[in-house]
Amino acid sequence: MAAPAEGPVVVLAGGGGLPTILIEALDRSGRQRRVIAFRGFADRGVRMRADAAIDLLDVAGGLALLERWKPAAVVLAGAVTRPSPAAFLGALSALRNRSELSRLMARGDDHLLRAVVETIEERGYRVVGAHEIAPDLIAPPGTLGAVAPDDEARAAIAVGFACLADLSPFDIGQALVVQGERVVAIEGAEGTDRMLARVGSLRGGFIFSRRRETGAILVKSAKQGQERRVDLPTIGPRTMRKAAAAGLAGVAVGAGQTIIVEREATISEADRLGIFLVGIEPAARRDS
């Protein structure tokens, strides 16, 4: 079954502010939309505007709603917690080969997300990225705000992006913290906020400078070969606060590959805290 040329855009909504931004963007554009809120994840405001609510692993229920609404496109937005292997296998085993799903669970989040996208597409629905609904979410290149990284910071940023590129095949994470030529922390399953909290605990140690001008930097970008329609790295005002609380000098993100939620508020928060925010284009990452 091919996706209809006309029909609603269905937002599969997890937690955080991104689903609300997409809902409002669709409403401004006049596009018809439907919202499926994931119970236990979607914010209250999203749940109030949702057309339906389902459990995260209620795959059959979600597909039944898509069949009823016949959407022109489906977009996945917002944070969810990785399900346990047993729960994931139980939810999708009727739709996909169980041995294939077992391999996916062992290979990391990006492969899981690809399986979700493929499951939707195999039923004839088109999956689009959040940035296709609201293009202004994507980080532009250049310095954003009043504080700019100096040459020393740009050299450290290049080290950070090089490390992220080398880590991409291992599906580890989308962020790290670098100081000079030393990688201080790499994001794991705990996410960016908890990684930054971990970095903050290192303040005062001999490996971590308290001086902002020679401080550490959060570097965040999509992994090479990542499925860009789901789980693009995201930052927002809270990221700036967490970075400053950890003693960081600034934040560098992949231009064109990172979502900035509430861009103006994020820039204002960076300025208020005295840290830089910069978007780095791929060609500039080795010699930032």
Identify the weakest region by mean pLDDT among 9-23, 119-133, 201-215, 221-235: 201-215
95 in any annotated domain: yes
- Domain check: are 111 and 218 in the same one? no
- Domain check: are 116 and 165 in the same one? no
**Domain, as residue range, for 26:** 9-134
Q: Count of domains in the chain?
A: 2
Q: What's the mean pLDDT when you consider all of the chain?
A: 86
Q: Which residues of 38-54 are buried (b: 16+ CB within 10 A; e: fewer)?
A: beebbbeebbebbeebb
Choose among 197, 191, 246, 241: nearest CA to 220.
191
pLDDT digits (tens, 9 = 90+) for 168-206: 888 788 999 999 999 999 998 788 999 999 998 876 554
Q: What mean pLDDT is predicted for residues 1-23?
A: 85
Is residue 278 within 8 A of residue 147, CB to CB? The reply is no
pTM (two decimals)? 0.83
1 in any annotated domain: no
CA distances from 67 to 33, 35, 160, 230 (A): 15, 14, 44, 21
- Residue 225: per-residue pLDDT: 74
- Residue 65: per-residue pLDDT: 96
Residue 163's CB is within 10 A of a number of other CB atoms, namely 15
- Residue 119: per-residue pLDDT: 81
